[in-house]
Structure 1
Amino acid sequence: MWIGYKILIVSHLITEIWAEKQYLSQREVDPGADFTRNHTILEGTRFKRAIYKGQYCRSFGCCEDRDDGCVTQFYEVNALCYCDTFCERENSDCCPDYKSFCRGEKEWLPHATPWYTEDRWTAQNYSQFWGMTLEEGFKYRLGTLPPSPMLLSMNEVTAVPAIIDLPEFFVAYYKWPGWTHGPLDQKNCAASWAFSTASVAADRIAIQSKGRYTANLSPQNLISCCAKNRHGCSSGSIDRAWWYLRKRGLVSHACYPFLKDQNTTNNACAMASRSDGRGKRHATKPCPNNIEKSNRIYQCSPPYRVSSNETEIMKEIIHNGPVQAIMQVHEDFFHYKSGIYRHVTSTNEKSEKYQKLQTHAVKLTGWGTLRGAQGRKEKFWIVANSWGNSWGENGYFRILRGVNESDIEKLIIAAWGQLTSSDEP
Structure 2
Amino acid sequence: MFYKSKLLLLCSFFTYYFTFKGFAYSRNVMVNLYSPEEQNTFRGTREKRALDIDSYCGKSGCCESRNDECSLPYFRKNATCYCDFFCDQESVRHIDCCPDFWLACNGMDLPKTHATNMPPSTIYPPLNRKGCFKDGSHYEDESIMKENCNYCNCLKNQWICTDHVCLVRADIIEDINAGNFGWKAENYSQFWGLTLEKGFKYRLGTLPPSSALLSMNQMTNRVSSDEEFPLFFIASYKWPEYVHGPLDQKNCAASWAFSTASVAADRIAIHSDGRFTSNLSPQNLISCNVQNGCNGGSIDSAWWFLRKRGLVSHACYPYIMDTNNGYVACNMSSISDKYGKSHATKQCPNHIEDSNYIYQCSPPYRISSDEREIMKEIIENGPVQAVMQVHEDFFLYKTGIYKHTDVLKNKPEEYQMSGTHSVKIIGWGALRGSDGNKQKFWIAANSWGRSWGENGYFRILRGQNECGIENMIITAWGHIIP
Offset at residue 375 of structure 1 (A) = 2.1
Offset at residue 161 of structure 1 (A) = 5.7
Aligned to 1:381: 442
- Aligned positions of 1:86-235 closer than 5 A: 111-112=170-171, 113=173, 114-116=175-177, 117-158=179-220, 160=222, 162=224, 164-227=227-290, 229=291, 231-235=292-296
The answer on whether the counterparts of 1:303 and 1:413 sit within 8 Å (CA) in structure 2 is: yes
Aligned residue for 1:138, secondary structure, equals: helix
The superposition leaves residues 291-317 of structure 1 with CA deviations (integer Å, 9 ceiling, x where unpaired) of 110000000111000000010000000
Specify whether residues 115 and 161 from structure 1 end up closer, same or farther in structure 2 by C-alpha distance, changes over 3 A only.
closer
Offset at residue 265 of structure 1 (A) = 7.2
Offset at residue 351 of structure 1 (A) = 1.1
Pair 1:347-2:408 in alignment = yes
The answer on whether the counterparts of 2:182 and 2:433 sit within 8 Å (CA) in structure 1 is: no
Aligned to 1:322: 383
Aligned to 2:120: none
Specify whether residues 262 and 133 from structure 1 end up closer, same or farther in structure 2 by C-alpha distance, changes over 3 A only.
closer
Offset at residue 406 of structure 1 (A) = 0.2
Offset at residue 373 of structure 1 (A) = 2.6
Structure (1/2) with the larger strand percentage: 2
TM-score by length of 2: 0.62
The answer on whether the counterparts of 2:378 and 2:384 sit within 8 Å (CA) in structure 1 is: yes
Aligned to 2:467: 406
Offset at residue 319 of structure 1 (A) = 0.4
Offset at residue 119 of structure 1 (A) = 3.7
- Which of 341, 355, 372 lines up with 2:433 in the alignment? 372
The answer on whether the counterparts of 1:159 and 1:316 sit within 8 Å (CA) in structure 2 is: no
Specify whether residues 322 and 349 from structure 1 end up closer, same or farther in structure 2 by C-alpha distance, changes over 3 A only.
farther
The answer on whether the counterparts of 2:251 and 2:322 sit within 8 Å (CA) in structure 1 is: no
> Structure 2: how far apart are the matches of 1:191 and 1:182?
17
Please tell me whether Structure 1 or Structure 2 has the larger radius of gyration of its CA atoms. Answer: 2
* Structure with larger RCO (C-alpha < 8 A, sep 6+): 1
Structure 2: 5+ residue stretches without partners: 1-168
Pair 1:293-2:390 in alignment = no
The superposition leaves residues 75-128 of structure 1 with CA deviations (integer Å, 9 ceiling, x where unpaired) of xxxxxxxxxxxxxxxxxxxxxxxxxxxxxxxxxxx9531223414300011000
The superposition leaves residues 57-77 of structure 1 with CA deviations (integer Å, 9 ceiling, x where unpaired) of xxxxxxxxxxxxxxxxxxxxx
> Structure 2: how far apart are the matches of 1:262 and 1:132?
13
The superposition leaves residues 5-55 of structure 1 with CA deviations (integer Å, 9 ceiling, x where unpaired) of xxxxxxxxxxxxxxxxxxxxxxxxxxxxxxxxxxxxxxxxxxxxxxxxxxx
The answer on whether the counterparts of 2:252 and 2:322 sit within 8 Å (CA) in structure 1 is: no
Pair 1:418-2:470 in alignment = no
Offset at residue 355 of structure 1 (A) = 3.2
The answer on whether the counterparts of 1:349 and 1:355 sit within 8 Å (CA) in structure 2 is: no
Aligned to 1:71: none
* Paired amino acid for 1:190: A
Specify whether residues 172 and 159 from structure 1 end up closer, same or farther in structure 2 by C-alpha distance, changes over 3 A only.
farther
> Structure 2: how far apart are the matches of 1:403 and 1:261?
35
Offset at residue 410 of structure 1 (A) = 0.4
The more displaced of 266-275 and 283-292 is: 266-275
> Structure 1: how far apart are the matches of 2:181 and 2:417?
24
Aligned residue for 1:235, secondary structure, equals: coil
Offset at residue 345 of structure 1 (A) = 1.8
CA RMSD of aligned residues (A): 1.6
The answer on whether the counterparts of 1:348 and 1:354 sit within 8 Å (CA) in structure 2 is: no
Specify whether residues 348 and 153 from structure 1 end up closer, same or farther in structure 2 by C-alpha distance, changes over 3 A only.
same
> Structure 2: how far apart are the matches of 1:373 and 1:283?
55
Structure 1: 5+ residue stretches without partners: 1-109
Aligned residue for 1:274, secondary structure, equals: strand
The answer on whether the counterparts of 2:335 and 2:343 sit within 8 Å (CA) in structure 1 is: yes
TM-score by length of 1: 0.71
Aligned residue for 2:201, secondary structure, equals: helix
Specify whether residues 349 and 226 from structure 1 end up closer, same or farther in structure 2 by C-alpha distance, changes over 3 A only.
farther
The superposition leaves residues 116-143 of structure 1 with CA deviations (integer Å, 9 ceiling, x where unpaired) of 3414300011000111111000000000
Offset at residue 372 of structure 1 (A) = 1.9
* Paired amino acid for 2:449: G
> Structure 1: how far apart are the matches of 2:436 and 2:271?
40
> Structure 1: how far apart are the matches of 2:392 and 2:416?
8
Aligned to 2:330: 269
Offset at residue 159 of structure 1 (A) = 6.9
Identity of aligned residues (%): 67
* Paired amino acid for 2:341: K
The more displaced of 233-242 and 114-123 is: 114-123
Aligned residue for 1:129, secondary structure, equals: coil
The answer on whether the counterparts of 2:449 and 2:456 sit within 8 Å (CA) in structure 1 is: yes
The answer on whether the counterparts of 2:257 and 2:285 sit within 8 Å (CA) in structure 1 is: yes
Aligned residue for 1:379, secondary structure, equals: strand
> Structure 2: how far apart are the matches of 1:310 and 1:175?
20
Aligned to 2:156: none
Pair 1:281-2:342 in alignment = yes
> Structure 1: how far apart are the matches of 2:294 and 2:191?
17
Specify whether residues 252 and 129 from structure 1 end up closer, same or farther in structure 2 by C-alpha distance, changes over 3 A only.
same
